[in-house]
Chains A and B, each alone.
Chain A
Amino acid sequence: MASEPYLLQVNHLQKYYPVKGGLFRKVTGYVKAVDDISFAIRKGETLGLVGESGCGKTTTARVVLQLQRPTGGEVILNGKDLTKVSDENLRCLRTEMQIIFQNPYTSLNPRMTIGSAIAEPMVVHGIAHGNAAHERVGELLNMVGLNKYFAGRFPSEFSGGQRQRIGIARALSVNPSFVICDEPISSLDVSIQAQIVNLLKRLQGELGLTYLFISHDLRMVRYISNRMAVMYLGKIVEMGESLAIWKSTLHPYTQALWAALPLPDPELEEKRQRIVLQGDVPSPINPPKGCRFCTRCPKVMEVCREVEPPLRELEPNHEVACHLYD
């Protein structure tokens, strides 16, 4: 895997939203939803992006796909900087990058048969029409484990897991090389989650897809991704090989995330050391000075409240932003 070239490179990506207040709706500050993050994904690899609500994971997805334009930074897909591509030209590039959404109940048009929903991107991009599109829909349905005769049915006739399969088929209809999975399993039942994750893994092998897999579920991210990045309040605090991060977790936030995750084993649970973080995630409008995690960190030091720690490589392929390792 390490020899593969990078498919996607994200450099110093920023997305700020203005906060307006007062009589004349003047800009009084910014929500720094994504604040200077950089990562790269090799061809055929999965990068997992983990974090709690409001940490900027979904904003990252939207900005990478240019569904919203970033405030600053570069997004280089296949050698092209998407931030510099005009809206019109961007449309042609959309066939290379697709997204699978979190909620399969709201992301499908209820008035459209699933066949036409899956065919729509192909028609829009002029890839296939009429019979060819129809045949391709059948193939895609088979590929995601659904019967091809389902094409004439409406979304309401399907369960959550089946709808998520339809969403996957729609995303794959234009043969993308890069797919963002934005919490694709969090609205599904446990037994169905495993089906979908295994399907995504299988498709990756068959089609050579590259994934950015966004989730708050550390276990699933560790299971599906080669590498992962942990986000907190718009920043990446730890990034590296999934196995390495699990074996030697460096950042206190990642450690707390592991510890907070209940294991399905009562005997292990009893023996485990608990780290229960105090308080809530601070507001991104007014993030703490210094390290953003300093208000909740159990190992906080003087320096953490003053100086923001940079992300740096501590072990090969394992980066962390924390003063503990200075």
Chain B
Amino acid sequence: MSPLLEVKNLEVAFFTKDGVVRAVNGISYSMEEGDTLGIVGESGCGKSVSCMAMLRLIPEPPGKIMGGEVLFDGIDLVKMKRDDLHSIRGGKIAVIFQDPMASLNPVMTIGEQIAEAITVNLGQSHRQAMERTIELLARVGIPHAHDRVKDYPHQFSGGMRQRVMIAMAISCQPKLLIADEPTTSLDVTIQAQIVDLVQSLQRELGMAVIWITHDLGVIARLAKRVNVMYAGFIIESGPAKDIFRQPHHPYTIGLLGSVPKPDVQGNQTLQFIDGTPPDMLRLSEGCSFYPRCPYRLAQCEKERPALMQVGNEHMAACWNAAAAAQAALDATASGRA
């Protein structure tokens, strides 16, 4: 069986007045139907841009897809005509964004907005679409859906707006849902509700989900596979359990160490990653993490490591991965003792 989504060497750059920002630098991964992939990284690492470029949703210019293929159901989205993309976007691939207020039309009722998506994508009549809208709103947990279809976005709370976005996203039964930091602006108890909702919908509809976030906890809760991104590269990739149990890339190790663990007793010191992420206008030819890396070798400054096998389906882009992983294991062992 061919994979549902296959990204090969995707490269995206932005041509700004200060120079060329190389936002995504040749990333490759694939997903099967019904998979859950988590993409983790800090601001500016290219996690959102890589997914938006896949749907050709980046502004061109200044953005440009420099190369690579995105095969969805065997069709290359990069080469597709813009007009044909409409059948994919919002239909087979749906997106939910971080800020639901910015993605909803403030002067249109919630019901009209969802029904519009259904009439456009599935060609149903307005009345059918409205009925379906009410069903969907009830399914995503909006109380009194019958009355609330007539409300405007500002009459909903942040969590409820995100539910509306989810209802819109699943209205055309997508095969792939891209969730771009959908819970970042929400409170933790509301975040838990949204994560639960997406998980139950995923089981029900059998769709694949890409969850983009900087929150390692959310990833641990829902992802089967994880890509860790840094400076436009995937620097570690593998099954979630392996990455959390035995991270190999020093950046992943640092990221996991920066989160305080509530189960450690007494006075723990938080590890942290020194320095700041690199300037994307001036990426070095060596490993982008080199200046911040506690495990760097002389080789790392000049030669950029590619993803290398470090375990079963587990890959890391690091020349010194074995030593870093061992040091991380020792540190956790001494922390637990």
Contacts and interface: CB of A to CB of B under 8 A. Distances in A.
Contact of A190 (B192, B221, B223, B255): B255
Given A197-B270, A222-B262, A53 B187 contact: yes
Closest 6 interchain pairs by CB?
Answer: A262-B217, A194-B272, A223-B260, A194-B258, A260-B192, A52-B187
A258 B263 CA distance: 12
A246 B262 contact: yes
Find the residue from B256, B266, B273 having the highest chain A CB count within 10 A.
B273
Interface stretch (A32-40, A101-109, A263-271): A263-271
Interface string B214-230: 11111111010000000
A223 B260 CA distance: 6
Given A194-B270, A262-B221, A276 B193 contact: yes
Contact of B43 (A189, A193, A264): A189
A276 B196 contact: yes
B157 A276 contact: no
Contacts of A218: 188, 262
A222 B267 CA distance: 10
B276 A192 contact: yes
B270 A267 contact: no
A216 interface: yes
A244 interface: no
B291 to A, nearest CB: 13
Contacts of A269: 220-221
B214 A189 contact: yes
Interface in A172-227: 189-195, 197-198, 216, 218-220, 222-223
Interface in B236-284: 240-241, 244-245, 254-262, 265-266, 268-274, 276-277
A293 to B, nearest CB: 11
Given A194-B271, A198-B272, A220-B260, 11 more contacts: A52-B187, A189-B42, A191-B255, A194-B270, A219-B259, A257-B188, A260-B192, A261-B217, A263-B261, A274-B192, A276-B189
A287 B256 CA distance: 39
Contacts of A31: none
B262 A219 contact: yes
A267 B258 CA distance: 19
B190 interface: yes
Contacts of A263: 217, 220-221, 261-262
B160 interface: yes
A216 B216 CA distance: 17
Nearest to A162: B276
A65 B272 CA distance: 32
Interface of B: 42-43, 157, 159-160, 187-193, 195-196, 214-221, 223, 240-241, 244-245, 254-262, 265-266, 268-274, 276-277
A159 interface: yes
B258 A193 contact: yes
Contacts of A52: 187-190
A261 B260 contact: no
Contacts of B277: 189
A52 B241 CA distance: 30
Chain A at the B interface: mostly helix, strand, loop or mixed?
helix
A278 B141 CA distance: 10
B42 to A, nearest CB: 4
Contacts of A195: 272-274
A277 interface: yes
A264 B192 contact: no
Given A161-B276, A194-B270, A280-B159, A264 B259 contact: yes
Interface string A243-263: 100100000000011111111
Find the residue from B43, B215, B272 having the highest chain A CB count within 10 A.
B272
Nearest to A260: B192
A191 B187 contact: no
B44 to A, nearest CB: 9
B215 A191 contact: no
A259 B196 CA distance: 13
A263 B219 CA distance: 9
A52 B191 CA distance: 11
A280 B190 contact: yes
B169 to A, nearest CB: 21
A52 B269 CA distance: 26
A266 B220 contact: yes
B256 A264 contact: yes
B211 to A, nearest CB: 12
Contacts of A197: 270
